[in-house]
Amino acid sequence: MHPLSAPKIDLSGQRFGRLTATCYIPSRDNRKAWSCLCDCGSLVEVRGVNLRSGKTKSCGCLKRERMAEGIGKTHGMYGSRENKSWSTMIERCHNPKAKSYADYGGRGIAVCDRWKSFDNFFADMGPRPPGMTLDRKDNKLGYSPENCRWSTAKEQQNNRRNSRRYSFEGRDFTSLELSEITGISYHALRKQLNNAAGDVAKAASKFGLSKVRLRALIGTLEASTA
């Protein structure tokens, strides 16, 4: 960021009522606005002076709730599994101070404009099934209705861009897939794969599995999924 466009007071990561300042937005008219994430799930731009003075404490949901005599959050889903998935997505893509920002927003992964509203996100994704989390089909692309789904931990691990794959007789497997095929503990097998420099047969032999047996187990899996 150019020194002249940098904020005099860094508010990123600080909370102001229901708002958390995520990133500074340089403005031609020198209004010094911040992009803020509201507890209800909405993104809103607020002038820094209004945050610090307490004039602005929410995206507007607080006022609406008071007018509705405390009925509840604007969409009634604050704190739900779906809302937590949405908030995590927004944080990792738009808050440079988020722990995982480097792997998401830092490498160009963005949230589509439609999904900057939680209501739109939920309308497109629907309820989050138990045991599943938000996953991108193509890890080179951002978050959008076309590229996202609810997935199990296994599906995400196999789809992860940095998941190492191990080759055995012309086929590639993740350590999780090999664990399920062989019945060997995931962590124990992964340790032996590392010790064997990725040699699947050598790692499996540490657990008494020969190449012939390993080949048979893989063949059985292929037959069951054919």
Give pLDDT tens digits for 113-124: 999 888 899 999
pLDDT the model gives residue 40:
82
Checking if the pLDDT of 110 tops 70, the result is yes
Is 28 in contact with 5 (CB distance < 8 Å)? Answer: no
What is the average per-residue pLDDT within 44-63? 86
Burial label, 212 (beta-carbon count in 10 A; 0-12, 13-18, 19+): exposed
At which residue do the structure tokens 């503990």 appear?
A: 185
- Measure the N-to-C terminal CA separation of the chain; round to a whole number of Å: 54
pLDDT the model gives residue 16:
92
Token couple for 80: 């739900």
Domain ranges of the chain: 3-67, 81-159, 165-225
> What is the tens place of the pLDDT at every residue in 137-157?
888 899 999 999 998 766 766
> What is the tens place of the pLDDT at every residue in 171-193?
888 787 788 788 888 788 888 98
